[in-house]
Chains A and B, each alone.
Chain A
Amino acid sequence: QVQLVQSGAEVKKPGASVKVSCKPSGYTFTDYYMHWMRQAPGEGLEWMGWINSNSGGTNYAQKFQGRVTMTRDTSISTAYMELTELRSDDTAVYYCARNPAAIRAFDCWGQGTLVTVSS
């Protein structure tokens, strides 16, 4: 079955960067865009952007432009999200999710990666 497995929890200091990985299984990696969302403690969901797993093209939410970079490595079928210049309000669970073009809905989610930013 389709599954997305993310890397483990991270603790970072303000100003540092974090890179989260997402490795799908159960489907052809390059057939689907991968999206990234985050959820601050006790808060709702926030869309960060997507990467075209085939071409590597990206589209980022304006809020994160300049601080986020989404990449992929097709040789190991893995997507990455890097966020730089971390602040305390970047503390959140970060999710990757697949979004098939035919339905434009997030049909499969990773388990989430908690990123804690603290001095």
Chain B
Amino acid sequence: ETGVTQTPRHLVMGMTNKKSLKCEQHLGHNAMYWYKQSAKKPLELMFVYNFKEQTENNSVPSRFSPECPNSSHLFLHLHTLQPEDSALYLCASSQAFGEANYGYTFGSGTRLTVV
């Protein structure tokens, strides 16, 4: 058990579909993140939530819509995606403030394929 659980593990969706990715952590962390991992590129930060409030949207297209109902859960709602959105989507959590920052705890990601 990693501490951060992502579902589903794999997702294939058409460009007209609507789907959601889910992330859950019970580590007592209060910051959660969505990253996009594409081959041969650095991880791209998409969204940051701190104490359930979105504090960063890194110029992400509106076809990606995050939701953070509480500090333990994070969703990424997807609609009308493009084939170039195919990637591994990683969720992470951490302590938001203070010296107790030992890095992120990551989930195992959702491998998204847009057809």
- Bound together: no
Binding site for A on B (CB under 8 A): none
Binding site for B on A (CB under 8 A): none
